Chains A and B, each alone.
Chain A
Amino acid sequence: MNKREFLKDAILFFPAAATLQALAPAAEGKAEPAKTPADYDATKHWYGMGIDVDKCIGCNRCVEACKAENDVPDEPFFFRTWIERYQIHENGETRVECISTRAALPEQAPPEDPTVVRTFFVPKLCNQCAHPPCVQVCPVGATFQTQDGVVLVDEKRCIGCRYCIQACPYGARYLNPRTKTADKCTFCYHRVTEGLLPACVEVCPTEARIFGDLKGKADRLVRFHRVNQISVLKPDLNTEPKVLYAQLDGEVR
């Protein structure tokens, strides 16, 4: 083989090999159907959660269930969902305390403070905003909204830059120390796509949490939306949260 023939063959060989290589996985993919359940159509759902603040007893079961279901680190400062205790005093001062960080139950009931006018628990979680600020700021497109309205984080693409943690107005994200990526509530996506309830809703003893599909006509959440006075957190930010609160006190931020 002389030089001229070699160059001719080489020019033909490299693009042909690359083309074949690119075509091979595509052909394989066609032969083997995707792993997603065929009967699940994400475009037919628009998930949301209703929270009846009047019913929450602050038992923390949802927090424990969430940690067990989603492998959230055990340390008491990593949460996908958490409970806040609000105490509104006579002088208008509002005190907020996260009760999910405590290690054990208090021995005795906490002492009564006579200056407290109102006090209640508020469960918090990712609001699964329809216009999520965290998605806008992600520099690598690792966090995104699915067609059924859930905001997810792609663990393989996230670079752990923490922009989304800063951007979330609800403080719903944290950096998972194990994967070194941002982590947040997924509405238990692996459960709801199978028709199950999220773990926190499954264990809530007083039905303070209601999970549903805002596209479903006769859905529980749609009814919850209709019969209750609904508020969302920080409505002025136009994030359009899909976590709907009923009987929410005006002091809750």
Chain B
Amino acid sequence: MKLPEQVTRLGIVIAAIVAVVLLLRLVILPETLFSARPHQAAAVEREMAKPLRHAGVAVCRECHAEQFELKYGGKHRNIGCENCHGPAASHAADENAAKPPLPREREACLACHGYDSSRPNGFPQVDPLEHRPRKKCVSCHDPHDPVPPKAPTECTGCHGRIERTKAMSTHALLPCASCHAVDERHMTEPRLALPTKPDSREVCGRCHVPGATDPAASKVTVDLTAHGGTYVCWECHYAHLPEGRK
């Protein structure tokens, strides 16, 4: 069967329009008009090409192995070099171009070690105004291997916060050792030999039972058999500030 001529012509025109549209869509117009993917790929490439500013400990170690080993054996083992010395990628690329700073002022150490009540318990901190206020930290402590020049002899050397709390309480005159047994080793390796806590109610009972013989016996007395069930006293009462807890 032969198609009428007008149908053939119409078919050619439609085919031409379809071809032009396909050509436009697939070849001529860039993909960026229809999809965000090429933009995103380009953005990822730009992001990856950004320059490094921090070189990383591994790079520092290549030249400064001695300092690294010293640091690695001490308390500062996990601190990256660039924490104190600042970003050093430019120094790693060309050692003479930019010398990283050697922070020697107190603020550099106090950023971490100045006392702040929000810091976690046990983190070594000093009160900047009490702890040798005019001296530079580095004149006594080697920042790569920081150890106290001598082990503290008083409990307050580290536990000042507890001492200050206790000083305001009725327990102010009690020495720490009246409740805690402290091993000698605790002074040098605090975490390896923790002081004891009272494990029985009799420790508080020395002062707080009616008719106690201790010279410092308290007027606040309690019948140990009737009060508090089987709990040890400090599980409910904070012994460093006994009247402070509700």
Residue ranges of A at the interface with B (Cβ–Cβ < 8 Å): 15, 18-19, 22-23, 34-37, 42, 54-61, 65, 68-70, 85-87, 104-110, 112, 114, 116, 119-121, 141-142, 144, 146, 152-157, 186, 189-191, 193-194, 196-197, 199, 202-207
Interface stretch of the complex, out of B23-31, B211-219, B229-237: B23-31
Would A65 and B87 count as touching, CB distance under 8 A? yes
Is B198 interfacial (CB-CB < 8 Å)? no
Could you list 27 A-B pairs, sorted by A, with CB under 8 Å? A15-B23, A36-B44, A54-B120, A57-B120, A61-B83, A61-B112, A65-B87, A68-B53, A68-B86, A69-B53, A69-B54, A85-B118, A86-B118, A106-B114, A112-B164, A119-B117, A154-B39, A154-B40, A155-B43, A190-B52, A196-B54, A202-B54, A203-B54, A203-B79, A203-B82, A203-B83, A207-B78
Would A58 and B27 count as touching, CB distance under 8 A? no
Known contacts A154-B40, A202-B54; is-contact A109 B119 (Cβ 8 Å): no
Would A205 and B114 count as touching, CB distance under 8 A? no
Is B45 interfacial (CB-CB < 8 Å)? yes
Is B147 interfacial (CB-CB < 8 Å)? no
Interface size on B, residues (CB 8 A): 50
Q: Which residues of A contact B114 (CB under 8 A)?
A: 105-106, 109
Would B123 and A57 count as touching, CB distance under 8 A? yes
Is B20 interfacial (CB-CB < 8 Å)? yes
Write the nearest CB–CB distance from B18 to chain A, whole angstroms.
14
Would A37 and B48 count as touching, CB distance under 8 A? yes
Residue ranges of B at the interface with A (Cβ–Cβ < 8 Å): 20, 23, 27-30, 36, 39-40, 42-54, 56-57, 76, 78-80, 82-83, 86-87, 107, 110-112, 114-120, 123, 127-129, 161, 164, 244
Closest to B124 in A: A57
Would B52 and A65 count as touching, CB distance under 8 A? no
Q: Which residues of A contact B36 (CB under 8 A)?
A: 141, 144, 157
Closest to B118 in A: A119
Would B119 and A202 count as touching, CB distance under 8 A? no
Closest to B47 in A: A189
Write the nearest CB–CB distance from A20 to chain B, whole angstroms.
10
Would A107 and B128 count as touching, CB distance under 8 A? yes
Q: Which residues of B contact A87 (CB under 8 A)?
A: 118
Most chain B beta-carbon contacts within 10 A, residue among A15, A37, A108, A202? A202
Q: Which residues of B contact A120 (CB under 8 A)?
A: 118, 120
Would A105 and B49 count as touching, CB distance under 8 A? no
Q: Which residues of A contact B120 (CB under 8 A)?
A: 54-57, 120
Would A189 and B123 count as touching, CB distance under 8 A? no
Would A112 and B117 count as touching, CB distance under 8 A? yes
Most chain B beta-carbon contacts within 10 A, residue among A57, A69, A86? A57
With A54-B120, A105-B114, A109-B127 already in contact, 6 other A-B pairs whose C-beta atoms are closer than 8 Å: A65-B83, A68-B54, A141-B39, A186-B47, A203-B80, A204-B80
Would B116 and A109 count as touching, CB distance under 8 A? yes
Would B47 and A152 count as touching, CB distance under 8 A? yes
Closest to B78 in A: A207
Contact of A202 among B30, B48, B50, B82 (CB under 8 A): B82
How distant is the Cα of A77 from the Cα of B83 in the complex, in angstroms?
22
Would A61 and B127 count as touching, CB distance under 8 A? no
Q: Which residues of B contact A104 (CB under 8 A)?
A: 107
Closest to A55 in B: B120
